[in-house]
Amino acid sequence: MGDVLVSSKEEVDSSDISSVKPVDLNDFFDGDGKIYGYQGLKINVWINSISLHSYADITYQSTINGDKGITDLKSALQNIFAETIVDTKDEFLQTFSTQRDFIRNMVSNGEVMHAGATDGSSKNAEVVPSDPQVIRMEIGSPNAGLLYSRLVPLVLLFVDGSNPIDVTDPDWHLYLLIQKKEEKEDPLYRIVGFTAIYKFYRYPDRLRMRLSQILVLPSFQGKGLGSYLMEVVNNVAITENVYDLTVEEPSEKFQHIRTCIDINRLRSFDPIKPDIDSAVQTLTKGKLSKKAQIPRFTPPLNAIEKVRESLKINKKQFLKCWEILIYLALDPIDKYMEDYTSVITNHVRTDILGKDIETPKKQVVDVPSSFEPEASFVVFKSVNGEEANTNVQVDENKPDQEQQLKQLVEERIREIKLVAEKVSKSGQTLKV
């Protein structure tokens, strides 16, 4: 199925408007996820980026009522688009006029957010002409639930593995990337991207932010809008002093973007520069790859805490960035690449074993007992600040183990180099 995002009826069927990457619909069809009974089937879905209504243009050469029958395409499409899909093309074309002010009306009570600071306004959100702005709405506020219901088809189609959020849970917030276009009549508002953020409690008195969904519409990707949206979210986390910002199951592409942004933030964060210098100095002293015991080269706990408290970057993300920060500080990198690879190999091996760098942790372990099994356990602290792992399954074929480890290390190095190359280009703006 091909999807086409259009903002005017003149763009419908225009040769200048290209379809986005075809979308796999298998998960939306009942049974085995296949379409039966059609020859030469083509489905093009037009999506009105002004009102978020849609229309499916379905063509086929013929139908054959075989053993599997003929798939009900309309029902399958309604599973995706629900009430946003209209029956006829004429009805779809009418939405450009009848629903012209839908987005503007929906976000009128939202709060305008900025990358530098919030402006404090909570009503009558306005957008600077031609300059995309981010408007925040609590999911329980007027219009937010209705607006999100029209965004759900975009979530299902373009956000891998994502499901709609619970609009009855007031802890959800929408951050809507809005573009305003000046016209002879009233200005035209359209959504070019959005993210859904969940705030949840952390004992004893803090909140955490979890980014669950983020999307820049395909027609607007590659223009730096995704990076701007993340800058706004990062600033909100700092301004509102949450505990940290986490991301729920980020895609590989988004993780790359996120890491590039965080690396630039960390490179200008002076409190951790001595720690980076110390790590680099140790690494460049001598052949680590020849040593039996390689130092961990993980940041000190106080550096992790400073980054979390000041930048709201969570520990897991900071550890990923730390490897890249060291890589960027090695000069010339070719001279130290062997030792650096040994460090990354050690990190990857540790990741596989599920160990951590924090202080000793308590662990519950079942023990033989004459009492009820559910009541028989001991609690102990592991040594050396690492959690003992009693459930690690290791392949007994050592050559295979080493080959798998080598492949994982090569993949990690590749990711590190990609980010380092991106952020090293002076003055480059991330176009995502």
> What CATH number does the domain containing 17 carry?
3.90.360.10
- Max CA pair span of the chain: 84
User: Is residue 231 flagged as an active site residue?
Assistant: no
Instruction: Return the number of other C-beta atoms located less than 10 Å from residue 317's C-beta.
Output: 22
Q: Tell me whether residue 258 is in a domain.
A: no
Phi first, then psi, for residue 218 (nearest 5°) are -50, -40
Instruction: Return the number of other C-beta atoms located less than 10 Å from residue 349's C-beta.
Output: 15
Q: What is the DSSP letter of 66?
A: B
* Residues 237, 223 within the same domain: yes
* Residues 238, 156 within the same domain: yes
227 among annotated binding-site residues = yes
222 among annotated binding-site residues = yes
393 among annotated binding-site residues = no
Contact 410, 338 (CB under 8 A): no
Residue identified by tokens 């995704």 is 226
31 among annotated binding-site residues = no
Q: Tell me whether residue 70 is in a domain.
A: yes
Taking the C-alpha atoms of residue 95 and residue 91, their distance in angstroms, rounded to an integer, is 7
Taking the C-alpha atoms of residue 158 and residue 152, their distance in angstroms, rounded to an integer, is 10
* Residues 91, 210 within the same domain: no
Catalytic residue among 248, 309, 358, 411: 248
Contact 179, 127 (CB under 8 A): yes
Give the domain range for residue 327: 267-352+400-425
Contact 144, 137 (CB under 8 A): yes
* Residues 16, 85 within the same domain: yes
Taking the C-alpha atoms of residue 84 and residue 150, their distance in angstroms, rounded to an integer, is 6
Q: Tell me whether residue 236 is in a domain.
A: yes
pLDDT in tens, the chain (432 residues): 667 888 888 888 776 666 566 677 667 776 677 888 999 998 889 999 999 999 999 999 999 888 888 888 888 898 889 999 999 999 999 999 999 999 999 999 999 998 754 444 444 455 444 578 999 999 999 899 999 999 999 999 888 878 899 999 999 999 999 998 888 778 899 999 999 999 999 999 999 999 999 999 988 888 899 999 999 999 999 999 999 999 999 999 999 999 999 999 999 999 999 999 999 998 988 777 666 566 678 999 999 999 999 999 999 999 999 999 999 999 999 999 999 998 999 899 888 876 544 434 444 444 444 444 444 344 444 444 333 444 434 455 666 888 889 999 999 999 999 999 999 884 444 555
Q: Tell me whether residue 360 is in a domain.
A: no
Angle (nearest 5°) at CA 49 between 8 and 180: 85
Nearest to 297 by CA among 319, 273, 264: 319
Q: Tell me whether residue 369 is in a domain.
A: no
Contact 341, 297 (CB under 8 A): no
Among 45, 66, 99, where does a domain finish? 99
* Residues 404, 344 within the same domain: yes
Q: Tell me whether residue 389 is in a domain.
A: no
Residues ≥6 apart with Cβ < 8 Å to 13: none
* Residues 235, 167 within the same domain: yes
pTM (two decimals): 0.82
Checking phi first, is residue 161 left (phi over 0); if not, alpha (psi -120 to 50) or beta?
left
Among 69, 99, 129, where does a domain finish? 99
* Residues 410, 279 within the same domain: yes
* Residues 109, 9 within the same domain: no
Number of domains in the chain: 3
Sheet holding 54-59, edge to edge: 2-6, 42-48, 54-59, 85-86
* Residues 272, 153 within the same domain: no
The two three-digit tokens of residue 285, written as one number = 């002293």
* Residues 81, 224 within the same domain: no
* Residues 54, 84 within the same domain: yes
363 among annotated binding-site residues = no
Among 82, 99, 116, where does a domain finish? 99
Helix (H), strand (E) at residue 417: helix 398-424
* Residues 93, 113 within the same domain: no
> What CATH number does the domain containing 233 carry?
3.40.630.30
Q: Are strands 54-59 and 85-86 parallel, antiparallel or unpaired?
A: parallel
Secondary structure class of 260 (helix, strand, coil)? helix
Q: Tell me whether residue 32 is in a domain.
A: yes
What is the C-alpha radius of gyration for the chain, rounded to an integer number of angstroms?
Answer: 26
Secondary structure class of 392 (helix, strand, coil)? coil
For residue 128, the one-letter residue type is V
Q: Tell me whether residue 366 is in a domain.
A: no
